[in-house]
Structure 1
Amino acid sequence: MSALEVFRFDEVPVRVVDNSGEPWFIAADVCAALGLANVAQALAGLDEDEKGSISIADGTPGNPTRATVNEPGLYSLVIRSRRPEARAFKRWVTHEVLPSIRRTGTYAVAETPEQLVARALIQAQDIVARRDQQIAVLTPRAEAWDELASAEGDYSVADAAKILARSGIETGPQRLFEQLAALAWTFRASDGKWRAYAQHVSAGYLAERPQSHHHPRTGELIIDPPQVRITLRGVERLRVRLGVLRAVEAS
């Protein structure tokens, strides 16, 4: 096992050790970066092959043993984080830290954008090939993630269901309506039409688009119930929430 390398994510130190050619992260550092206050509780939700421990002499008094997580374990912890920085942390690890470690053994100067894209695609293909079904659910395929990350605006429930399905979430238009209701994001009004709860509109997860039509005989303008739309932020939040729910149901 090689010496620790210390990287920094938004001033939070993240220690990584090379164990037989594979990077293992100090669990407490990862949890600190992701806002997971209870390290033991976070690690309890991981599979046994996703966590371990090492003994390090870092000058800290007390027990030198430190809990660690490997790459799949780190992704599982990312999914559990509620902090908006979790997505940036995952991108920092996969696009900067891991490529640099595997190339030079240290965290060096960042590669060019073209090199990062090429290396990220190779790593994504390798991850999809090697990780078990649970990790495949928790970590979306690179192409679906990139499509989601670069999109703008909001989506109909049907279009949002397609994006979520491509990122590994089992859903469809009708099922997504039911999942939104189960999460208390939407409800059926007295007219039987779906409406968005105000707090989730205020949070930026949902939107309502006004709708209307003209009466075919009189030409009178008729105001229809608004269409529930899911924002980009809402799609990302659903990807995390529904992915965690599926993992819990499967365990």
Structure 2
Amino acid sequence: MNNLAIYENEEFGTVRTVVVDGEPWFVGKDVAEALGYSNSRKALLDHVDDEDKGVTNCDTLGGNQNLTIINESGVYALIFRSKLPNAKKFKHWVTSEVLPSIRKTGSYNLPGTYKEALQQLLIQVEENERLALENSEMKPKAEYFDDLVDRKLLTNFRDTAKELGVKPKKFLDFLEDKKYIYRDAKGTIKPYSEKNDGLFELKEYKGRYSSHAGQQTLITPRVREVFRLLLK
């Protein structure tokens, strides 16, 4: 059974979090309601990929309950599709207050590998640079830096196509035609190695509700900006 950490926001209400295997997860219902979704269950089903959500048993005021939880990627998926005018403000609250608080209280496990240590160091450096900009009363530059940090989030092909304003099939056809990606024998999308210079990342995943596992090709901010120009 996992213990919940509760975060309160005057505008967005209560968001419960839990750390699973050293990683932060959010109670999906709380995030969906904070972002203005009228049907939280439908929002999680429609907008959050299976590998980005799961179920955990937690001790709540109503006793032990199985709660649907989502990871950071799932939170960003709900933010991206939210019609709430202040969705960006919610994202800023999560990234500037909630996640740093989890790190500060030691909820994260120590990095187990050199790569994990570098990733955590990068996060800390980015946060320090953002704070330095704000403290220097360089708000416009600080906001621009926040946007750059945001773009470091990986997205799938469907979300990227929507962001670029094109249909997913057209986007995939374009990438295949230009030899950026191909499909392997199982039909899984993979990037060509000679063109994968920071454009794509392969992420291992395992289904939360099934034994299905595999690799998913995700798109980096660099490729989004490149194809935004190419598709104009």
Task: Give the TM-score normalised by structure 1.
Answer: 0.46
More contact order relative to length (CA 8 Å, sep ≥ 6): 2
Task: Give the TM-score normalised by structure 2.
Answer: 0.49
Which structure is larger by alpha-carbon Rg, 1 or 2?
Answer: 1
